[in-house]
Amino acid sequence: MALFDKFNKLANDRAELFPTGLSPFETRIEEVYSPTEARIGGRRVLLAGTNNYLGLTFAPECIEAAHKAVEREGTGTTGSRMANGSYGGHYALEAELGDFYRCNSVIVFSTGYLASLGLIGTLAGAQDIILLDADCHASIYDACRLSGAQIIRFRHNDVADLERRLQRLRERTENTLIVVEGLYSMLGDRAPLAEIAAVKRRHGGYLVVDEAHSLGVLGEHGRGLSEEAGVAAEVDFVLGTFSKSLGAVGGFLASNHPESEFLRYASRPYIFTASPSPSVVASTRAALQLLRNRPQLRERLWANATQLYHQLRALGYQLGPEPSPVVATLLGSRQQAVAFWQGLLERNIYVNLVLPPAAPGGYTLVRCSVSAAHTPAQIDTICEAFADLRAMLKRSDTPDSHRG
């Protein structure tokens, strides 16, 4: 097989699914007007697929902080923290996150993906075991492969399956990382974290919770599912990202294990890549302050999420198992999903199209992500477009059931 032959299947799929050449996976956002509006294909579109949960990308405080930083410290750090030094903002952001999570050790990474690789890929080694939820994000799967550890997958959100697998490991649980997510990004469902923490208490192991989609979204103070489920003290490692609720880019690890500071010396995704730019760090710090000081953003977000979920359900759509700011509509064939996505765009609504294998369980789906910046009227507009397209789904062509 020649070098490029492995792409033949991709090329065929692309030609078959997108005969006009306009692929939903190559969307060009021509101009951004606000956290909820942009121009796509020459038309003004309502954005409902951004992960911009708190709507902070245009917050004046964040923009001003980024401006000041770029003027004071320049456009980039041009190197890694270990070789080229850390800026004041890197340490300040780590201290502020440490205060927020009440953790002694916080390490900032250049992206959320790198934070996954940097923790899991470094901490677990060839003698160790990783037990991961089947629906974990690709970055976690990649991190597992990087680690060289034994990788064992358990059924999504199935605590009994996790427990059986821990029982089989017996004393090896002291070398085991259990990895779950706060809010799963495809169907918008939470992990049963209190039960998972209880299983960990019974059998041992270390618990990693990726709060990428739940930071700023769940918990009384917005710390995520660990806070909401009341088990923060039993979570050994929190992973998170700045690219969703905090409106920038970057990732972090928070832990109360003092040894996790050594990851700075051992983690290749920390050492061998450039550190976040001063403006990114500055806007992230400003956004974290807003997240902490404005709980009304979270209230607005949940009001919007609940409104969208219940209205789409009332229209007869099959959705993910529970209301959350990620609202997934399950569809039938891949062709139907593509046509549905295009139909929404023609009605000036931008959402995300997800096809297997990126979507779990062989589903095709369109995923809306809701923002605190959406107005109730905008949520209504999204629902009107969905109502318009309802006829496109014949009963026989919808999935029979969704997982609960």
Active site residues: 185, 213, 244
Of 55, 75, 65, the closest CA to residue 283 belongs to 65
Give the residue with the Cβ less far from other proteins, 161 or 195. Answer: 161
Element (H, E) at 58: none
Out of 81, 90, 137, 165, which residue is the one contacting other proteins (CB under 8 A)?
165
- Single out the residue of 14, 39, 68, 153 in contact with other proteins (rule: CB under 8 A): 153
Please say whether the beta carbons of 27 and 350 come within 8 A: yes
Opening angle at CA 224, ends 223 and 230, nearest 5: 90
Cβ at position 67, least distance to other proteins in Å: 44
The sign one gets for the Cα dihedral 42, 45, 51, 52 is positive
Q: Which is nearer to other proteins, 235 or 359 (CB)?
A: 359
Question: Interacting stretch for other proteins, rule CB under 8 A, among 26-34, 43-51, 75-83, 164-172?
Answer: 164-172
Residue with tokens 């085991």: 176
Identify residues 354-393 at the interface with other proteins (CB under 8 A).
356-357, 360-362
Provide the sign of the torsion angle of the four alpha carbons 52, 183, 362, 118, taken in this order. positive
Is position 159 an interface residue for other proteins (rule: CB under 8 A)? no
Residue 155 binds other proteins, judged by CB under 8 A = yes
CB 36 within 8 A of CB 378: yes
> Based on CB atoms, which residue is closest to other proteins, 203 or 294?
203
Any alpha helices (H) in 347-402, and if so which ranges? 376-389
Residue 256 binds other proteins (CB under 8 A): no
Q: Which is nearer to other proteins, 145 or 313 (CB)?
A: 145
Binding other proteins (rule: CB under 8 A), the pick from 124, 144, 187, 197 is 144
Pick the closer one to other proteins by CB: 61 or 161: 161
Residues 6+ apart with CB under 8 A from 110: 249, 250, 251, 273, 274, 275, 276
144: Cα separation from own chain's centroid: 17
Per CB under 8 A, does 161 bind other proteins?
Answer: yes
Residues 6+ positions from 19 with CB-CB distance below 8 Å:
none
Q: State the minimum distance, in angstroms, from the CB of residue 13 to other proteins.
A: 11
* The binder of other proteins chosen from 164, 201, 202, 390 (CB under 8 A): 164
Nearest distance from C-beta of residue 257 to other proteins, angstroms: 25
Establish if 200 lies at the interface with other proteins (CB under 8 A). no
- CB–CB of 218/228 below 8 Å? yes
- Min CB(362)–other proteins separation in Å: 8
Nearest-10 crossing angle of helices 159-169, 193-203 = 20
Choice between 133 and 210, CB closer to other proteins = 133
How many residues bind other proteins, per CB under 8 A?
Answer: 17
Interacting residue ranges for other proteins, rule: CB under 8 A: 134, 144, 150-153, 155, 161, 164-165, 168-169, 356-357, 360-362
